[in-house]
Amino acid sequence: MNEIKLTDSEKDLMEILWEKEKAFMKEILDIYPEPKPATTTVATLLKRMQNKDLVGYTLYGNSREYYPKVAKGEYFKEEMTSMIDRFFNSSVTQFASFFTKNSELSQKQLKELREIIDKQIDE
């Protein structure tokens, strides 16, 4: 999969599409909090995201029902991989060390992380 780059505005829109799974423009606009973006702004974002092959649509007469073409989990996996590549020289170990030392995790949270890792090792 190619690296996905989304602006903050595109991420907000993708969150709506991931939540709804498919939606018409009116439904998308209804979900946005106030102040709502202009219809033309959302239409531009959708067009850009179609060009990135992240969003598709089904045509019903003159109306388009939009849907995400990339799963949320796939997107976040790619984002994490990209971040680890950029900031930690592709080293998951460096990332984990930084994360556990700098995120002020409680003993309980650290133990939960260890359990998750141990479970993955056992599988």
Question: By C-alpha distance, which of 40, 73, 66, 52 is closest to 7?
Answer: 52
Domains of the chain: residue spans and CATH? 8-68 (1.10.10.10), 91-123 (no CATH)
pLDDT value at position 3? 59
pLDDT digits (tens, 9 = 90+) for 74-100: 888 888 888 888 889 988 888 888 888
**Token digits for 104?**
């002020």
Res 30 pLDDT > 60: yes
Q: What is the pLDDT of residues 37-72, one digit of tens each?
A: 999 999 999 999 999 999 999 999 999 999 999 999
Where does residue 90 fall: left (phi above 0), alpha (psi -120 to 50 degrees), or beta otherwise? left
CA distance 60 to 39: 19
Rounded distance, CA 97 to CA 119, Å? 19
Other C-beta atoms lying within 10 Å of the C-beta of residue 122: 6
Query: At 51, which helix (H) or strand (E)?
Result: helix 39-51
Look at residue 2 and tell me whether its pLDDT is greater than 80.
no
**Segment 102-115 mean pLDDT:** 86
